[in-house]
Amino acid sequence: MVLGNDLHLELGAGGGRRAALIGALRDAVRGGRLAPGTRLPPYRALAADLGVARNTVADAYAELVAEGWLTSRQGSGTRVADRVAAPAPGPVRPASPPPLPYDLVQGKPDPGAFPRAAWLAAARRALTDAPHEAFGIGDPQGRIELRRALVEYLARVRGVRTSPDRIVICSGAAHALRLLAPLLGTAAPWAVEAYGLPFHRGLLAGAGVSTVPVAVDEDGARVGEIPRHAGAVLLTPAHQFPTGGPLHPERRTGVLEWARASGGLVVEDDYDGEFRYDRRPVGAVQGLDPERTVFIGSVSKSLSPALRIGWMCLPSALVDGVVAAKGEREPYASATDQLTLADFLACGAYDRHVRRMRQRHRGRRDRLTAALAERVPGVRVTGIAAGLHAVLKLPPGTEAAALDAAARHGVAVEGLASYRHPEAPAPTHPDGLVVGYATPPERLYGAALDALCDALRDGLRDGT
């Protein structure tokens, strides 16, 4: 057996094999298919693959080395020469604007905070212990190891009542909504919070589901305003996104009373549920009535959005429909990542990481609050001490000017108005900025706060 890296070449039917091989290699280099530095197969391996004599390949390589197309050194093999001209560029695409130096956009954890060593250790254990069938097509409901680990973790930390057969693994909240929307049908609208992610509203609209806004205040959504004819209500009760208030206990029971009376469904997006800093996080609404609530969670904020792992804890009547909607060859959540997360949860590494992140995020929120109090006293942080973002209350009419000033100072940040439902009545919240304090690396966070304060001072002056 002759071993070597593969190389696809078309030699054609006519002419000598040596000349055809030289021409094919020149074309592959000239066209950019073989980039500078690419290592070519050894003589014997390429000769065996192409069905030509070894000397034919050796002679072709030698000629191309002499012409400067290839290089050959002892121990390094034969490679495409670095000085070979690259192919002519195609049409130039318009350049995207460069990112601003200070990223304070909400919803993005610091990529540098990912617990690589602990995750690698969990991956090694998980892959060592994984059964052979784990590397097959798999179960669209998700790996049983992860579903079992989630049952224990969510019961202990979030007060969720479920079982492995009622959990479906997905890639996050957006994927969950994509699965639920067609299953619940388009005849009845969904009630959604008047302030929330436009992406989620757009996703529902794309599925043919209309949405009606429900006002929010410091106690969360005003659930008494949910229309009786709504088929579902989408809430962020742990930490209303983006305004920051938790759903009041009376409203928690109130939304379930609505669901029982109307036959509707409560869809609970556990946004930031684990990151409460001033006291212990409140439990999930789902724990009060698992048969009327879909609980959605993910690791996109706690670990990394790159993992693409989320979950739904479903009423028993919805499980089969959601699994069928996913299909037999689920393309989103890697089985090996699911196995690793199961180990990461079971060994306590996830708890330890979340506790570290709580301390870090709380410190950053405190620094933000202190900087504003000292340097821009006309702006204050609102909402509970939780999550990866804060809303800054601005004087009326200054939001647009503050955003313009932020861009001039190199700060990427978003306005509160961009999260308001287009059909919501008169704004229930004043002008504001939604500031994500988790993303910047530690070395840049102080400079980001300085730039934000400078921008706010300019924005308040320009907007008045």
Residue 11 lies in a domain: no
Beta strands in 129-262 (DSSP E): 167-170, 190-193, 211-214, 216-217, 220-221, 232-235
Q: For residues 378 and 166, is the Cβ–Cβ distance under 8 A? A: no
pLDDT score recorded for residue 99 = 86
Of 350, 384, 418, the residue at which a domain comes to its end is 350
Of 294, 315, 350, the residue at which a domain comes to its end is 350
Element (H, E) at 124: helix 116-129
**Vertex 169, ends 284 and 437: CA angle to 5°?**
60
Tell whether the model's pLDDT for residue 392 goes beyond 80: yes
**Domain co-membership, 265 together with 316:** yes
Query: 360-391 pLDDT, tens per residue?
Result: 999 999 999 999 999 999 999 998 888 999 99
Tell whether the model's pLDDT for residue 93 goes beyond 90: no
Confidence of residue 31 (pLDDT cuts 50, 70, 90): confident
**Domain co-membership, 175 together with 229:** yes
Q: What are phi and psi of 230, to 5 degrees?
A: -65, 140
Tell whether the model's pLDDT for residue 15 goes beyond 80: no
Element (H, E) at 313: strand 310-313
Tell whether the model's pLDDT for residue 343 goes beyond 80: yes
pLDDT score recorded for residue 152 = 97
pLDDT score recorded for residue 91 = 67
Tell whether the model's pLDDT for residue 84 goes beyond 70: no
Confidence of residue 12 (pLDDT cuts 50, 70, 90): confident
Report the amino acid identity of residue 264: G
pLDDT score recorded for residue 145 = 97
Between residues 328 and 166, the one the model is more confident about: 166
pLDDT score recorded for residue 79 = 92
What is the residue-averaged pLDDT of the chain? 91
Q: What are phi and psi of 29, to 5 degrees?
A: -75, -45
**Domain co-membership, 74 together with 169:** no
Query: 160-193 pLDDT, tens per residue?
Result: 999 999 999 999 999 999 999 999 999 999 999 9
**Domain co-membership, 346 together with 381:** no
pLDDT score recorded for residue 188 = 96
Residue 86 lies in a domain: no
Q: What is the CATH number of the domain that holds 30?
A: 1.10.10.10
pLDDT score recorded for residue 87 = 52
Query: 287-324 pLDDT, tens per residue?
Result: 999 999 999 999 999 999 999 999 999 999 999 999 99
Confidence of residue 83 (pLDDT cuts 50, 70, 90): low
Order across the sheet with 211-214: list the strands: 167-170, 310-313, 293-298, 265-269, 232-235, 190-193, 211-214
Q: How many domains does the chain have?
A: 3
Tell whether the model's pLDDT for residue 95 goes beyond 90: no
Residues 6+ apart with CB under 8 A from 147: 141, 164, 165, 167, 169, 311
**Domain co-membership, 315 together with 203:** yes
The range of the structural domain enclosing residue 46 comes to 17-80
Residues 6+ apart with CB under 8 A from 228: 258, 261, 262
**Domain co-membership, 314 together with 274:** yes
Tell whether the model's pLDDT for residue 8 goes beyond 90: no
**Domain co-membership, 338 together with 368:** no
pLDDT score recorded for residue 73 = 85
**Domain co-membership, 333 together with 430:** no
